[in-house]
Structures are given as structure tokens and as C-alpha cells.
Structure 1
């Protein structure tokens, strides 16, 4: 039995025959059209509108995070700048197929060069272009295979449109050649509790019908397993399912040390599902959903209504709200649409909000009013508000002073930049709490784009350099008597969650689907165990050896 390595999403395991994703449609030829330019323009505009409508309808059926992603794709299909580029090519006498393909490819290359959030959108553009070209050709768009039986899906990468409509009755697991732990494929797979391993470069050698075991916990794909291997995988899958379906309880270590397990949420509509899975509150509420699809900043009243829905969904529980995390890498016309050579290191997060203080003040006002209104009705939560992308003590003081001026009772900062981690003792002398965003902290520590598959091996929060920075923040929180939460995807890895607790994290926030597995592992270990396991990881030289050392220290078999 051979194994292929990648980045595991979640902790599940599954086995079955491979079914490969169909190859993309071939690029249209750059030849003159036999139709008039107006006729080709009508064809192109009809296809773009039809694809936008289809993506929007898929989003409504999928709901949740998938709906946000699909609606963003639908907007791409009707983007005025893209349509202008397509029309220019049609005016030169080219076919609608080639004009669409070439205009989208030009935009894709631009986004790829920018990297960061915009670089991640490049794959979405490819998917939209393929769907439009397929519509023009009158053929089915490349999509999911249907072998007629349950299968392990193998693809170069999955578009949001495909991931959103995966038939979980037939898709046993997902393996992609590209992508990292924070790609849209990974995020949606985690939300849907799909067993997945991404960034498996060698998966191109897997053949249709070949039996594999997909082990997300170990980040491995095992090929041609024996009957004994398959039986072991089936036993582990049943144990994982039993853990996931067990009644939720408050997060705690074996010795009774409380470790609240919170949920990362993107909209208030997700509150009920998160609570049903045992979320003890919200460790990260992303407010971007209010802003990203808007032409202007939402009003205070519009924001307040959504925040009230959120707070009422968690009465008496902690709810941590992250202010708008946008800027040059997530351009908004009313915030920052300036081009930057390196947007990941540009004007984003608090920097962008500070440059447009009216938007920041409106958001704080809406949050404070929502807090007061829900408390008056007896359904309030314990509201905490934090600023994203904080780098300095001065920024911390600016934000916390402004938050308190607006009536926010608990104001904190996100630690996503190494500078903030190294100065955590000084930041926490000012802020009420810190929350570590491990996705960006890893990206900036390792100088590895979090959405670029080519450097996915560096984008690993297990790296001892990242863990050392977490320890700095944990120690600062302990010395100051202030909470330090984890709200990055690292908290969804049960073993890494144990390590993070050993490094000083006082709460963990994750995708709700990961709560059960994290809760189960924590109950098997004491706080002393957590510190001991964390020390073994810190002593390692790289991410792989840190993970292996932790498994050994926690007495977890390598195949578990």
C-alpha cells in the first residue's frame, strides 16, 4: 500500500473507488466569426446571463457559506468590466466563445499576479468562463462525475459551484491536486463535513475505479489497500461517526479545566445549526457578508438588524464579532479600490477602516445599539468586538479607545501579524482580549500565500515557528490575566487544538462541524498533558515532525 501526502481537512476517514473529474473544455480557437458582431454579442450576453442565473439558483438551494460563494461567482458573470472586454473582442470580429475565454483569461492572469484573496478568485473565474463557453457550445459544463455508485472524487480543484452541490450520499471523500487548507474547496468541505485531503500533487496518477483510503486526520491518501486496511478504515469511520453524533457538552479537559468551544460563523442564519452541534458561543463572526455585495456601506440600521439576529441566537453566551476585514485584497468601492502591487501586505483590516473612520464608527454604533436592544429584551449575548490585522500598540490603543467611546464593553484585537504576537504583552496591556487568526499568522510567518497550492506545504500551522508565536501570545495573556482565543482553522484539528491549549489558548473557535471531534480529544487529556504535548511540538524542526511528535506524546497511533 502506497501513500500520497496532502493537507487533511477535518479528521474523518473514508474508502472507495476513485472517480476523476472531467478535464476542462478545450480553449476556443481564435478565428474570425461567421456572424455579425451584434449577433455574437447577443449570444455572449445571453450565455453570461444564463450562467449567472444558474449560479444564483444553485446558491439559493445550497444556502450557508456556499450561497455567498456562488453569488459572488454569479456577479463575476455579469461584471461590467468583463463584459466590456468581451464586447471589445466581439467588435474585432471574433467569436463569442473566444471572446469570453480570452477576456476571462486576461482577468484571471491579473488576479493570479495579485495573489491573496484576489488570487484565490482566479479559479472561480476559470469555472465561470467554462460554464459560459459550454452554454455557447450547447454542451454540458464540465462538472462532477456520476459513475452510478459511491465514489472518492479526485479533481485538480473543485469550483465553488461544484462543491456546493456535492451529493453527499455518493461522494465518500474528496481529493484535490491543488489548493491549501484555506481555499474555498477546503472551507466548503469542512462546512459540509466531507472527508477531504487537498494539495495532493501526486493524485494525478490515480485512476478511475482504483480503491483508495482517504485519511484526513493524517493528510494521506492510501492506494490499493489490503482487506485488513479497509476493515481498519471502516472501523475508524464508524468511531468518527459515533463521536460526531454524541450529545454535545461544554468543552473541557480531563481534569475539568474549561476550554469553551465556539463557532466561526459568516451569517446570523448559521446560529441555530452551530448551537445544535454544541457551540458554546461564537469565537469569530465575520461581518463581511454585509459589505461585500453592496455598492455602498450598509446603514447603521441595516447592520444593527443583522447584529441583533446574531446576538439573539446566543442568549447569555459569548459572541466575538470581527469588524470588517477588507481592503485592497478584498476591494470595496466605498472602502478601498486602489491597485496595490502586494495587497496582502497593503491597506486591509483596521488600516482600511481607519482610513475611512466613518465606516468604522458606523459599525461600532450598530454593534453597541444591537447589544443594548437585545439586552433590553432579555435576549442579549456577551458581546466582544475585535479589530482585524492589528500590528502595533498604537493601533490597539486607537481601536480600544474608539470602541469604548461608542459603548463597546469588551474590545480586543486579532493577532495575525508576527509583530502583534511578539508584542502581545504590550497589546494586552491595552486590549481586553486577543484572538489568534492562525490562517494569516501562518501565512505571514512562513511568507507563503494561504491560497496558493504551490506553497501549501509551507502553509501549515503546525510549524514550530508559528507555534512559538502562539506561545508568546498565550504567555502574555496568562501574565495579564486576559483571554487568548484561537479563531483560525487550526482549532478544527483536534490534536493541534490540544497543543494550542498547552500553549496558552483559553478558548477555541472553529467550523461547527469540527466541534465534536475536538471536544472528544480534549476530554482524554489533562492540562498538564496539553502542556507536555505542546512542548514536544515546539522542539521539532518542521511541521511534519511537530505533528508526529505530538501524536506520539499524546499516545495517538499514526493511523488514527
Structure 2
């Protein structure tokens, strides 16, 4: 057997036959030159519509994260700017329609890449839509996951969001990819489906003779075999002890919450038994609009998400936008490094009226819904910035204000920070990215963004100790909270709440219920003493066992 290592992003073990996901289609050629420009250009719109309709049909059969991913990809296929640019290239350069779609998509992808941050993460989506439209124009099957005839391990360079969105967990034993990282769509959806997954496995595609694999999503390893092996499906239990109230076995209270970004997410969170919401992303209200939504529109949209949580705690994050997540009505200009530019709360320093209107809408939605609403600001770097935000939130009628901890500087100023706000919530994805100066979307740097990195855990521990000393909550709302093993380590580091994708709530809550606070602390101590992420994970597991 050939043993390879990557980054484990969804826990569990599985084994079985390998199925390779098809690589993208060959690049369409630019010849022969098109003579009937209008007829050739007219093919593009219907092809894009057919792709979009197929994705919408798939979306109708699923719920939650999968539905949102498929609908987002379908909307991108229907985007008239992509089709219009491709049609323009047909007419200007006499290109065949498939080649025109390729070049138009590359222009869009390059623009997103240059912007950086969140939008740079959407480049994979653009390529997925591109390949589907080109396949439709050529009359061939699109690349992606082939029909599965038996439970299998999927092997791929990377998986497009639409490929992973409606995978059947009864047929997919595990996912392994050569690219991707801990915050990729592959990782997030694998966790939501309970499928073991390992990403950023260098040399994976070179193993062309392998026919089967054993995958360990906890250790981040896989063994490839040139002979068939017995199928071993992952155990999908883990939620048996979830009662709907988070605590350790000795009664130490830890809220188990859900991350949501739309009304469908809220429904899934309630179904999972989440105690409330630890991160309500409000960007959905601002996407695909040319002008800022007015207060009444925002208020109604927020209330729809909040209503299922009447009487329960919900933390609403204010608009996380800026140079790396550009919105039409927030023109911050071009920046040489958008990920380090004017984003999150920094936008509000120049445009405080946008923040004030959002806070007014959130306060109104809280009254309408009956939810116990708090607000927090993203991308805060100093205690002074936190104080500025808290003052505006309280002036808007929101009694409880906090901030996201995504910047190492504010983690190191935890004591001063907690004097100014009522709570903090740690976004482990961005905190890792900024701590290690490693773009979280680069597969080559995925190991640095592993949430088990001891340096990252030490920053979290600093915040946890400060929270205990100040008697103020310190939550975690990054993807790290969805891991039942790491969740217990985070509690041992002082986390008072864990917020995650809804499907992870029962397993994390159940894991906490079966472990004492002291054992969580022992696991945290063992992880902090480890020299690297892999040994931190192993040390924590040994301590809990």
C-alpha cells in the first residue's frame, strides 16, 4: 500500500473502491473562425439556461447547505454578464461559442482573483459553471462525479461546490482531493454529510494504478491499494447523548449553537436541536443588489431568519464586506492587498450611516421576532475599534455587543478588548489565515490553516483565560467548532460556546456530554504541548481516551 498524508477536514474512517472524478474537458479551440456570428452567439444563452435549470432541479431535491450551494451555482450560470461577454467575443473575434465561454469565464475569474478574499474563493464556482456550459454546447457529459454503482471513495483534483452538494452519503464512503483546504466547499459539505475527507494530498493524482483506499479523516491520511479491499463504511452516529442543552458530563455549561446565513439555515438549525445561533451572517441581504437595502427591507429579511429562535440567543454579525467582498454601493476603490484592506468594520469608519441603518434594522427585527439578539462586528483590530462599535450598537437599542476575533492583534489585547464589549467570538478560519500569513484557499498552504496548529490554539487559550478572568463569554464560530474532538479541546481552552454547521450540532453536543471539563482541559494541555497540528490532534485524542 502507498501511504499519503494531507489535511483531515472531516473526521471518521472508511475504506472501499476508488472512483475518480473526471478532469475538466480539454480546452476548446478557437478555430475555425465563425462566419454566422449571430447564430453562434445565440447558442450561448440557451446553453447557460439549460445548465441553470438542471442545477435548480437538483436543488429542489435537497435542503440546507446543499440547496444553497446548488442555487448559488445556478444563479451564476444565469448571470447575463457572463453570457453577454461570451456573445460579444463571438461577434468581435469570430470565436466558436465554447471558446468564447472559456475566455469570458477566464476574464471573470481573473477579476475575482485580483479582488482577493471571499470573492477569490468563488473562482472555482466560475470554472464549474464554465465547464458545464461548454459541455452543453459540445453535447457531451460535463465533468464531475460519475454515477456510482457501489459505495466508493471519491478521488479528485478538487471538487466543485455543485459536485459535492447533493452527494449521497450512503454511496460516498469518503472524499480525498489533491487540492483544497480546511475551509473549502469540499470540507464544509463533507462535514455536514458526515463523510470522512482529506484534502491537500500531494501526489494523489499520480497514483494511477490504485483501485481502493483506506481513509482516516481524523489523522489526515490515506492508504492506496492496487487490489480491492473490503468496504468499511464510516460510523455516522455520535449524537445519541444530545439533549438540546450543552454541557460537559460534570455539568459545566457550554452552549452548542448553529451558524446560519439564510432562513433555510435557520430551519435546519432548529431541526438539529441547536440552542440558538452563534453566527448569523447578514451578507445575504446585500448580495446581487445595486443599492443598499433600506431599513424596512433589511428588518423583514432578518426577522424571517430570527423568528424560529424566539426566546433563544442569536448573535448577528454586522455586514462583513469591503475590498475583498465588494458591493456596488460600497466603492472602496482598488487595493494592492484586499485581504489586508478596508473590510468589515473598517468600512463603517468612513460610512457609519450604513452601519447605523443596519443596526436599526437588526434592533427592529429582534423586537419583531422575540429572539434574544446580540450583535458583533467583523474585522476588529483594536480595543478602541471595539468600543466604537459597542457604543453605536447600544445607541441603536441593542443591549449586548461583541466582536469577532479574526486578527491576531486583538487576540493579544484580549484583556483590554473585554473591558469594552460583552463577549467575543473567535473566527478560527480567518484567525488562522492571518496568524500564519497563509491564504486559506491555497491547497499548498492547507497545513498552515489546519485549526489544530498549536500556535493558533495558544491564541485561543489566551482569549479563553481572559474571558474567565473578566467573567465574559468567549465563543468559537469558525469551522473548528464542528469537530467533536477539537470542540472539547476548545472548551478546555476556555470556550464558553461552540457554533457550527447545523448537522454537526448533535455529535458535538453528545461528545461534550460524555466528557468532563477536567478531561477537556487535559486534552487542551496535551494539544498545546505538541510540536505540530498532526501530533496535537493525536495527543488530544490520547488524553481523552
| Contact 1:40–1:95 (8 Å) recurs in 2 | yes
Partner of 2:185: 184
Shift in alpha-carbon separation, 1:53–1:319, aligned structure 2, 3 A: same
Task: Name which of structure 1's ranges 433-442 and 197-206 shifts more when overlaid on structure 2.
Answer: 197-206
Taking the aligned partners of 1:60 and 1:297, their CA distance within structure 2 comes to: 30
State whether structure 2 residue 473 is matched by structure 1 residue 483.
yes
**1:45-71 Cα deviation digits (max 9, x unpaired):** 332333334334433443433343334
Change beyond 3 A, Cα 1:179–1:94: same
1:167 aligns with 2:202: no
- State how far apart, in whole Å, the 2-side matches of 1:443 and 1:183 are: 13
Please tell me whether the aligned partners of residues 248 and 277 of structure 1 are also in contact (alpha carbons under 8 angstroms).
no
Q: CA deviation at 1:162?
A: 1.6
Give CA-to-partner distance per residue, 1:169-218, whole Å, 9 cap, x none: 32222222211111122222223333322222232145588222222222
Q: Are residues 1:311 and 2:306 paired?
A: yes
C-alpha deviation, 1:241, in angstroms: 2.8
Separation in structure 1 between the aligned mates of residue 368 and residue 94 of structure 2, nearest angstrom: 60
Please say which of residues 337-346 and 74-83 is displaced more in the overlay. Answer: 74-83
Residue 109 of structure 1 pairs with residue 99 of structure 2: no
Aligned CA distance change for structure 1 residues 216 and 204 (closer, same or farther; 3 Å): same
Partners of 2:455 and 2:441 lie apart in 1 by 20
What aligned pairs does 1:81-96 form with structure 2 within 5 A after superposition? 81-90=81-90, 91-96=92-97
In the alignment, structure 1 segments of 5+ residues that lack a partner are 375-379, 556-560
Q: What do the CA deviations read for 1:248-272 (whole angstroms, capped 9, x no partner)?
A: 3422112211111111112122233
Match of 2:325 in 1: 330
**What's the counterpart of residue 36 of structure 1?**
36
1:116–1:450: 8 Å Cα contact kept in structure 2? Answer: no
- C-alpha deviation, 1:405, in angstroms: 0.4
Per-residue deviation, 1:415: 0.4
SS at match of 2:8: strand
Distance 1:83 1:353, change over 3 A: farther
The 8 Å contact of residues 248 and 514 in structure 2, kept in 1 or not, is answered as yes
1:428–1:480 CA contact under 8 A, matched in 2: yes
Asked if 1 retains the 8 angstrom alpha-carbon contact of 2:76 and 2:129, the reply is yes
Question: Counterparts of 2:160 and 2:216 in 1: how far apart (Å)?
Answer: 22
Q: Where does structure 2 lack aligned partners over 5 or more consecutive residues?
A: none
* Aligned match of 1:6: 6
The alpha-carbon deviation at position 526 of structure 1 amounts to: 2.1
User: Counterparts of 2:476 and 2:488 in 1: how far apart (Å)?
Assistant: 12
1:459-493 C-alpha deviation (Å, 9 max, x unpaired): 11211211111112111111111100000011112
Residue 66 of structure 2 corresponds to: 66
List aligned pairs for 1:130-279, cutoff 5 A: 130-206=131-207, 210-224=211-225, 237=234, 240-244=235-239, 247-279=242-274
Determine if contact 1:17/1:209 at 8 Å carries over to the other structure. Answer: no
Q: CA RMSD in A?
A: 2.4
* Contact in 1 for aligned 2:242/2:510 (Cα 8 Å): no
Q: Aligned pair 1:384/2:380, yes or no?
A: no
Provide the rounded CA distance (Å) in 1 between the counterparts of 2:244 and 2:68. 31
Q: How many residues align?
A: 544
Shift of 1:446: 0.6
Distance 1:226 1:41 in 2: 49
Counterparts of 1:353 and 1:190 in 2: how far apart (Å)? 34
User: Cα–Cα, structure 1 residues 76 and 322, in superposed 2: closer, same or farther, change >3 Å?
Assistant: same
Identify the residue that residue 366 of structure 2 maps to in structure 1.
Answer: 371
Partner secondary structure for residue 321 of structure 1: strand
Aligned mate of 2:335, from 329, 340, 343: 340
CA deviation digits over 1:385-432, x for unaligned, max 9? 111111112211111000000000111000000011011111110101
Given that 1:10 and 1:492 are in contact with CA atoms closer than 8 Å, whether structure 2 keeps it comes out as no
In structure 2, the partner of 1:558 is: none
Aligned partners of 1:412 and 1:360: how far apart in 2? 15
Partner of residue 299, structure 1: 294
When normalised by structure 1's length, the TM-score is 0.91
